[in-house]
């Protein structure tokens, strides 16, 4: 049973990471707890590697709902938990911990958060079981780091026709492609040179690199981007800045675009539901996020 249903006392939940000071998560989660009248406070738990074991242990205290986990601890927390959801195991990263009946459970809501975000822009079909299908789409995934791993598994779970992973270091793209291919029978390609990218109709380009966060550079050269059909959708996981150079170029070419705020919103909404067993007030969370960006 969820702790929320068992108690009326003040509860805690928070973000484990390093750094955490600039996280958007409190402004996303606190209004959700307040709106539903759940007496929980969302805290920022700056945690070094040396403090991680102690921090995770503290999640078993009776007033703690669990935690979000961010860089650099998404992998390191896994052996410290009692049980890990199969998708999080495949991805190899946990971003949400739930304290339930004295046990700690690990989940990855980044993957489903990405699919829910894409669905907001009318990409894919919602299935009867709530899963999102991207049948018929080709996905071009830029990056092969932590965020890209979650995205790759999300995209194959959604049944994309073809997945192309493009990354600066080819070996990393190859490793991810090989791993994902073990769970998929449709084609998965890896590339490091974008000039070899052959665009398909109905493409979704997902930027999961950090390029564009700090300077006006794009992970995909404009001449390559311009080869894509006008129905191509460009999703940039970066949300700060809200318009990266990639998104600016794509918009100038008339392509549909979105930034990573919607993914942040949906991964947070899914985490909220896991902690509380309640439907997250997504519109309240979205309004708070937009108000502060
Ligand atoms: P990461 O594990 O450090 O991976 C970084 C990726 O960016 C790698 O593929 C790396 O390529 C590539 N990269 C970095 N610098 C580059 C450069 N100068 N040129 C070309 N490629 C470069 O980071 P991450 O955790 O996956 O995060 C990636 C991005 O996703 C970040 O901007 C993060 O904020 C965003 N994100 C957003 C959400 C959301 O909710 N919207 C969630 C998670 C992450 P190499 O492998 O070749 O080094």
| pLDDT tens per residue across span 144-171 | 998 999 999 999 999 999 999 999 999 9
How much is the pLDDT for 291? 87
| β-sheet bridge partners, residue 44 | 15
Ligand 1 centroid distance, CA of 176 (Å): 14
The pair of three-digit structure tokens given for residue 130, joined into one six-digit string: 């709530």
Distance CA 93, CA 75 (A): 5
Could you tell me what percentage of the chain is helix, strand and coil, using 3-state DSSP and rounding each to the nearest 5? Answer: 40, 20, 40
In the DSSP assignment, the letter for residue 216 is: S
Hey, whose CA ends up nearest to atom 4 of ligand 1?
145
- Answer yes or no: are the C-beta atoms of 3 and 99 closer than 8 Å: yes
Percent of residues, the chain, with pLDDT higher than 90: 91
Say whether 8 is catalytic.
no
How much is the pLDDT for 7? 63
- Residue-averaged pLDDT of the chain: 95
How much is the pLDDT for 146? 87
pLDDT tens-digit series, residues 209-253: 999 988 889 999 999 999 999 999 999 999 989 999 999 999 999
Q: For residue 6, name the pLDDT band (cuts at 50, 70, 90).
A: low
**pLDDT greater than 70 at residue 2:** no
In the DSSP assignment, the letter for residue 194 is: G
Atom of ligand 1 nearest to the CA of 168: 47
The pair of three-digit structure tokens given for residue 117, joined into one six-digit string: 């975000």
Ligand 1 centroid distance, CA of 162 (Å): 22
- Answer yes or no: are the C-beta atoms of 280 and 263 closer than 8 Å: no
Closest CA to 85 of 181, 77, 173, 62: 77
Ligand 1 centroid distance, CA of 144 (Å): 8
Hey, whose CA ends up nearest to atom 2 of ligand 1?
145
């Amino acid at each position: 049973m969820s702790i929320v249903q068992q108690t009326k006392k003040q509860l805690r939940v928070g973000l484990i990471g390093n750094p955490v000071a600039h996280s958007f998560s409190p402004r996303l989660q606190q209004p959700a707890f307040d709106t539903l009248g759940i007496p929980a406070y969302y805290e920022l738990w700056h945690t070094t590697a040396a403090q991680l074991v102690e921090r995770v242990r503290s999640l078993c205290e009776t007033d703690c709902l669990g935690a979000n986990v961010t860089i650099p601890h998404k992998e390191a927390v896994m052996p410290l938990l009692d049980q890990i959801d199969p998708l999080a195991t495949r991805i190899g990263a946990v971003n949400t911990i739930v304290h339930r009946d004295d046990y700690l459970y690990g989940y990855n809501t980044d993957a489903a958060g990405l699919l829910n975000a894409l669905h907001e822009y009318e990409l894919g079909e919602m299935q009867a079981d709530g899963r999102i299908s991207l049948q018929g789409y080709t996905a071009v995934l830029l990056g092969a780091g932590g965020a890209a791993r979650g995205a790759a598994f999300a995209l194959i779970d959604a049944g994309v026709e073809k997945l192309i992973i493009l990354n600066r270091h080819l070996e990393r793209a190859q490793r991810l492609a090989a791993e994902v291919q073990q769970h998929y029978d449709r084609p998965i390609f890896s590339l490091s040179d974008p000039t070899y990218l052959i665009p398909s109709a109905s493409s979704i380009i997902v930027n999961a690199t950090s390029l564009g966060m700090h300077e006006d550079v794009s992970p995909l050269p404009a001449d390559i981007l311009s080869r894509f059909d006008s129905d191509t959708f460009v999703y940039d996981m970066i949300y700060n800045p809200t318009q990266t150079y990639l998104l600016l170029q794509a918009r100038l070419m008339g392509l549909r675009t979105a930034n990573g705020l919607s993914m942040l919103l949906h991964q947070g909404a899914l985490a909220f539901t896991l902690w509380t067993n309640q439907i997250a007030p997504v519109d309240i969370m979205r309004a708070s996020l937009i108000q502060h960006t």
